[in-house]
Structure 1
Amino acid sequence: MHNNIKNIIFDYGNVIFDIDFSKAQKAFQDLGVPDAAIFFGHKAQNEIFDRFDKGELSAQEWRNEIRELIGDSVSLSDQQIDDAWNALLLGVPSGNHELLLKIKERYNTFLLSNNNEIHYQWIMDYLKRDFQLNDNSSFFNKDYYSHLMGMRKPNTDIFEFVLDTHQLIPEETLFIDDSPQHLETARKLGLQTYLMTKPDNLQNYFKSNNLLK
């Protein structure tokens, strides 16, 4: 049970927005990526993904790195690579947006997402198309994306940036994420944490912990 929470920091993927890593792994495998599950996964991935998450690679540079890894610099189109990469993006479950607005009425809320140029654009287009939203900003005091910050989880600096910028007391701050390695850093900094794993979901979690009473 969490105590004395005033601030909540949310991860995006598999907390607010459903993703399925296996779909991207299969799509990359179909493109010719060897050992796709090792190449890109939930707990570990090729360093080009980390660099893309930090905005160190542009979308075009990242696509060229993918081509190099596959050993096919000619026949793979940008669209084929983007489609494989975006295959993991499923969408926001019904009710999550409404829940976030309720949570924001009671807590200071923040989004802290490891993201990248291609996924970010897909998500923004999706929000506009399906929800008539320009972005996620209405749901949080502030939304943060790794590729726009030059930092990524689980590194300490990205957590410290959010805590310092908003003068958050770690012990009064709950961090919800689906990656154990991200929670480990947050715990070391003194935050309260919760690991979101299926079949648990955001709506069940807030209901069963009475966090909106």
Structure 2
Amino acid sequence: MKAVKTIIFDYGNVIFNIDFKRTQQAFIDLGIQNIEEFFAHKGHDPLFDEFEKGNISAAEWREGIRRKAKQPQLTDQQIDDAWNTLLLGVPDGNHDLLLKIKAQYPTFLLSNNNEIHYDWIMKYLKADFGLADNSSFFIKDYYSHLLRMRKPNADIFEYVLDTHGLKPEETLFIDDSPQHLKTAQELGLQTYLMTAPDNLQLYFSKNGLLRDL
């Protein structure tokens, strides 16, 4: 294994905690059937893929939810509230850790995201941390709905690698989704699967990548 010279981070359940079970229950409460096929960690309805690639607007996505739930009377707010149950927040210490890592490595964020969650997260960062966005923690932060590409497709990884001239074999990619890591491995990146109870701070305290931890 080559030395790590660059680190690419996923966002959900790596830097920012999320909970799929909460959102599954919220969608069930809206009338969604077959929830494990509709929305789950390892896969979901194509409606979400299109939303995360920015191919449909928030309004179009909400209409899709109404159709799937067979509940045309659902309001935008009801749908957004259910969708945003996924979002928990940034654990104490993660932002400070990211700044320490950035001081020693070129770092990047590569997140599957969407218009509704992105807006919620930006408001949360401002309200809780006085931050306009995540840009201070990375050389560049990338979001799928703005790039019009999403993980696990190879094109989004190739875009980041090519844009910044990164060598895959010297780049570590940290994500909580095995299907995303599979693509990264096929492209030659080093990878780490982040799964509870492991977390970012535990991982960097024991992996020897940081000089002062």
The normalised TM-score by structure 2 is: 0.98
Residue 199 of structure 1 is matched in structure 2 by 197
**Equivalent residue in structure 1 for 2:77, among 79, 83, 90:** 79
1:11 aligns with 2:20: no
Residue 69 of structure 2 is matched in structure 1 by 70
Q: Measure the CA separation in 2 of the matches of 1:34 and 1:40.
A: 10
1:37 Cα deviation after fit: 2.5
1:72 Cα deviation after fit: 1.6
Residue 189 of structure 1 is matched in structure 2 by 187
1:135 aligns with 2:133: yes
1:211 Cα deviation after fit: 1.0
Q: Measure the CA separation in 2 of the matches of 1:38 and 1:165.
A: 35
Q: Which runs of 5+ in 2 are unaligned?
A: none
- For 2:179, give the aligned amino acid: Q
| 64-73 or 174-183, which deviates more | 64-73
1:71 Cα deviation after fit: 1.2
Q: Deviations over 1:72-95 (max 9, x none)?
A: 21x210000000000010000000
Give the RMSD, CA atoms, in angstroms.
0.7
- For 1:52, give the aligned amino acid: F
Q: Measure the CA separation in 1 of the matches of 2:184 and 2:6.
A: 13
Q: Measure the CA separation in 1 of the matches of 2:36 and 2:93.
A: 31
Q: Measure the CA separation in 2 of the matches of 1:124 and 1:149.
A: 17
Q: Measure the CA separation in 1 of the matches of 2:51 and 2:120.
A: 15
1:123 aligns with 2:121: yes
- For 2:137, give the aligned amino acid: F
Q: Which runs of 5+ in 1 are unaligned?
A: none
Q: Which secondary structure does the structure 1 equivalent of 2:174 belong to?
A: strand
* Residue correspondence of structure 1 range 88-107 to structure 2 within 5 A: 88-107=86-105
Q: Measure the CA separation in 1 of the matches of 2:102 and 2:168.
A: 18
**Equivalent residue in structure 2 for 1:163, among 141, 161, 164:** 161
1:37 aligns with 2:36: yes
Residue 45 of structure 2 is matched in structure 1 by 46
Q: What is the aligned-residue identity percentage?
A: 69
1:3 Cα deviation after fit: 4.0
Q: Measure the CA separation in 2 of the matches of 1:95 and 1:210.
A: 18
Q: Which secondary structure does the structure 1 equivalent of 2:13 belong to?
A: coil
Moved over 6 A (4+): none
Q: Which secondary structure does the structure 1 equivalent of 2:96 belong to?
A: helix
Residue 25 of structure 1 is matched in structure 2 by 24
1:38 Cα deviation after fit: 1.9
Residue 145 of structure 1 is matched in structure 2 by 143
**Equivalent residue in structure 1 for 2:206, among 196, 205, 208:** 208
Q: Deviations over 1:22-62 (max 9, x none)?
A: 00000000011111222101001000000000000100000
